[in-house]
Amino acid sequence: MTLNIALPKGRLGEKVYERFERAGFPCPAIREENRKLIFDNEALGLRFFWAKPSDVAIYVERGAADIGVAGKDILLEYEPDVYELSDLGLGKCRMAVAAPQGKYLDPGRTLRVATKFQRIARAHYAGKGRDIDVIHLNGSIEIAPILGLSDVIVDIVETGTTLRENNLEVIEEVAPISARLIANKASFAFQKDMIEKIAAGLSAGLEEPQ
């Protein structure tokens, strides 16, 4: 039986794949410079594929992938019906509320919040009993408060450079984010031994510097 593994395409995915390699689950073909998206290691019964990071949880939830690696931001936003097996400690960043530097004053009316993460924003403000108007954007969220489209943004902050260079600042922390190993629920029941072996391998030596 082949175990299908969805990896997030991009910089995070490369670090994640290195973790698989170090844990004894390599797939040398993945290192070849080409535009292929699916790679098999028949000897180990593994098939890796690169998915858009925000799509990994869809593949895993529907069973097209048995396991995968997704950001906690995606898990909080879409609440896919999957098992979250472990925190890989990679891709660490935070979800935060940000506003123009030194200018934020609660407007005392419905707060306009621009974000890609509608559910996370709603849950955050519901917890504070604050009424908000969510403005759903697909990217470049940082420009919304500068142009007067919103009062604040809810977005991912990693180094803080994007905020700084656009004269914004964090005004509230929402949640810490990192990459999580997730599993399809049926796959976990049927391929428990293999999936647990991989989960243990990926977490081994986590306390060492990456």
Could you list the residues that contact ligand PRP (CB under 6 A)? 139, 141, 155-162
| Residue type at 114 in one-letter notation | A
List the one residue out of 72, 74, 40, 76 whose CA is nearest residue 55.
74
| C-beta closer to ligand PRP: residue 26 or 160 | 160
- For ligand PRP, give the closer residue by CB, 23 or 93: 93
The β-bridge relationship of strands 93-100 and 38-41 is unpaired
CB of 171 to ligand PRP, least distance (A): 15
| Cβ 37 to ligand PRP shortest distance, Å | 20
User: Structure tokens of 65?
Assistant: 């992938």
- Shortest distance, position 11 Cβ to ligand PRP, whole Å: 10
Residue partners of 172: CB distance under 8 A and separation at least 6 = 96, 97, 124
β-sheet bridge partners, residue 123: none
Specify the residue, 152 or 199, whose C-beta has the smaller distance to ligand PRP: 152
Q: How many CB atoms lie within 10 A of CB 128?
A: 8
Q: Which residue has the tokens 């098992």?
A: 83
Question: Which of residues 119 and 192 has its CB atom nearest to ligand PRP in the complex?
Answer: 119
Q: How far is the CB of 163 from ligand PRP (least distance, A)?
A: 6
**What is residue 150's DSSP assignment?**
-
> What is the closest distance, in whole angstroms, from the C-beta atom of residue 162 to ligand PRP in the complex?
3
- The nearer residue to ligand PRP, 23 or 143, going by C-beta atoms, is 143
Q: For residue 192, what are the contacts with CB-CB under 8 A and spacing of at least 6?
A: none
